[in-house]
Structure 1
């Protein structure tokens, strides 16, 4: 594979953010008088952006409070997004090695832009991932391929020269829509069965295996 660039998902791929996301969602739910969600429920709800996460977390008879829940959750999460967040095993070594090889690397996430940048720039020097693309006004979320194609254009690379690494069906759909090869990672928020059901053709079990594509 003549790979010159890697687009990474963030949550569940580079960083385990599940504890902080669960805590912030539950803080918001409690403030609205709604039942809390456990860690595994939140794991299944994450992936399609904050709006979907909030919609899924609310009881059926409270869906009209989605925007209020989102606003409350974001306020808490922006202050607490690095409480328990941690990089997956050896992922920092993988990123450094790719950089040393001259491979372009980016982050494309359905997380809001501000916390996405805060998390990436906390664990890596600014500019290691170029660009870091999160959700902001007017930007389409994954699985729409627009942001992936924008990254290819910025890098001046073709789809055949880039791979997309992510942990969910959303990432697989995004890569397929953009014509980019996808590598599904089993250490994230979805398991092997779910990734295969979503059409994953390349699966890896540990972050260090990413480097096998660049030998």
Structure 2
């Protein structure tokens, strides 16, 4: 029986794609580049904002990344101002999380989004102190797929990794769970397709949050 569920943020518990698409498009606009469409943003996110900016610049034509450092600074400011732009919970996720809490399952968020923005985003959608732990990028913790954050969360829960179930929507998440020695759940409502998730052989693949309830019954 799993005693904890650890969730990725973007594309897993909260639909944040519009906020990131809006922010990266505004950033690229500072250099005269066209907006980045939502489909490409979905491919660029997942490995932290530095990689998002790098990928967006390359896509926009800055092959030498001449604007990289300036773009990082602009994106940080822009996203700070727009991180809640049209964000919303995925259908069925509030119900699943409430169900888990009622079952006594510890729930946490582990994300490559900056820690302050992660807390702001999660609390805006789910309220303060809804999750037992939130860990975002920063404070010396390596970004996923490094398992450090997942292992730290398990340690804070006083649980072995084997009793934690890790949820995510990208290959980065599947690698994170595997690297941490946790069973993984691939979710198909996020930013990547089922084929990408299947390549990493998660314990479960679900297309709606309610589909994992049976594991806890």
Which TM bucket (shorter chain)? over 0.9
Question: How many angstroms apart in 1 are the aligned matches of 2:97 and 2:53?
Answer: 31
The equivalent of 2:135 in structure 1 is: 133
Question: How many angstroms apart in 2 are the aligned matches of 1:19 and 1:84?
Answer: 6
TM-score by length of 1: 0.95
Deviation at 1:205, TM superposition (A): 0.6
The equivalent of 2:90 in structure 1 is: 88
Q: Which runs of 5+ in 2 are unaligned?
A: none
Deviation at 1:137, TM superposition (A): 4.5
Deviation at 1:127, TM superposition (A): 1.8
The equivalent of 1:23 in structure 2 is: 22
Partner SS, residue 48 of structure 1: coil
Pairwise CA RMSD: 1.3
- Identify the match of residue 111 of structure 1 among 103, 113, 132: 113
Deviation at 1:201, TM superposition (A): 3.9
Deviation readout 1:52-76 (Å, 9 max, x if unpaired):
1111000342413223212211211
Residue 51 in structure 1 maps to residue 50 in structure 2: yes
For this pair of structures, how many residues does the alignment match? 214
The equivalent of 1:120 in structure 2 is: 122
Partner SS, residue 165 of structure 2: strand
- Report if aligned partners of 1:51, 1:67 keep a CA contact under 8 Å in 2: no
- Report if aligned partners of 1:187, 1:205 keep a CA contact under 8 Å in 2: yes
Partner SS, residue 194 of structure 1: helix
